[in-house]
Homo-oligomer: A and B are copies of this chain.
């Protein structure tokens, strides 16, 4: 019984931890396998290649799936709280990464779903867990989280604007046969393509009034595209400032986070940097 626990702990150490040499090696191997399997799925979708090597792809796909299935079972087995892992973000991804192959026995074409394995690559951040890499990533995540509300309001506003623009353009251009503005949803699609400055050109205004309105939309979009960038920039400037803040801790109460020009601890009022002797 104890041996079994030891085995479980050992497996857990190799599979889940990236600090030990074995754990790191395991993670690197898994990463390479994921990249290889995603590339396989990609190549398989290219019809010229697929026709020639149909059987080879079939075998390779099953080999990857079996390896990942074993890995998944080992993860379930070795983890302390099986259910918690199974329902966690990575647990769900790990399961979704093997299901499509089994589904392909019943449903044709579901193999393409295997690219969901690419999401498993996010584990790569675990390898670099320690040190600078993670904290830098954290600043972006923090800035994104902090600007979440602002960006949501902004996107909601954009959705309303885009609906109105789409409807107006449908009214202006829709009666002409050769334009792509055949319905309001298609016109909204055009408005989004335009406002985000993607500009595919699959649908373009043909009438003078339509082109004039498009020009107005684009000029507005020019000013509007500045907003989310401004939001994230301001947030990142803020984060950078927070990170740059004085690391000095008060000798009396131990609190830190003081400004560079602070002379007294802002929490207990004691003098901060002795040498000054005010």
Which residues of A pack against B, CB within 8 Å?
A: 38, 41-43, 45-47, 109, 112-113, 115-116, 118-119, 121-122, 124-125, 132-133, 136-137, 139-140, 143-144, 149-151, 153-160, 163-164, 166-167, 170-171, 174, 182-186, 188-189, 192-202, 204, 208, 211-212, 214-215, 218-219, 221-223, 225-240, 244, 253-255, 257-273, 275-276, 278
Per the bound structure, the CA–CA distance linking A163 and B194 in Å amounts to: 21
* 23 pairs, A vs B, C-beta closer than 8 Å: A42-B184, A45-B174, A45-B185, A112-B170, A118-B160, A118-B163, A118-B164, A122-B160, A125-B153, A133-B153, A136-B149, A151-B223, A159-B219, A185-B208, A197-B199, A198-B198, A199-B199, A222-B228, A226-B230, A253-B276, A255-B276, A262-B266, A266-B266
Contact A160 B263 (CB under 8 A): no
Q: Which single residue of chain B is at the shortest CB-CB distance from A110?
A: B171
Contact A230 B227 (CB under 8 A): no
The count of identical subunits is: 4
Q: Which single residue of chain B is at the shortest CB-CB distance from A204?
A: B202
Question: Assuming A144-B227, A201-B201, A234-B233, is B244 touching A171 (CB within 8 A)?
Answer: no
Per the bound structure, the CA–CA distance linking A143 and B221 in Å amounts to: 17
Give A119 Cβ to nearest chain B Cβ, in Å.
6
Contact B155 A219 (CB under 8 A): yes
Per the bound structure, the CA–CA distance linking A200 and B193 in Å amounts to: 10
List B contacts of A160 (CB < 8 A): 118-119, 121-122
Per the bound structure, the CA–CA distance linking A42 and B204 in Å amounts to: 20
List B contacts of A240 (CB < 8 A): 234-235, 237-238
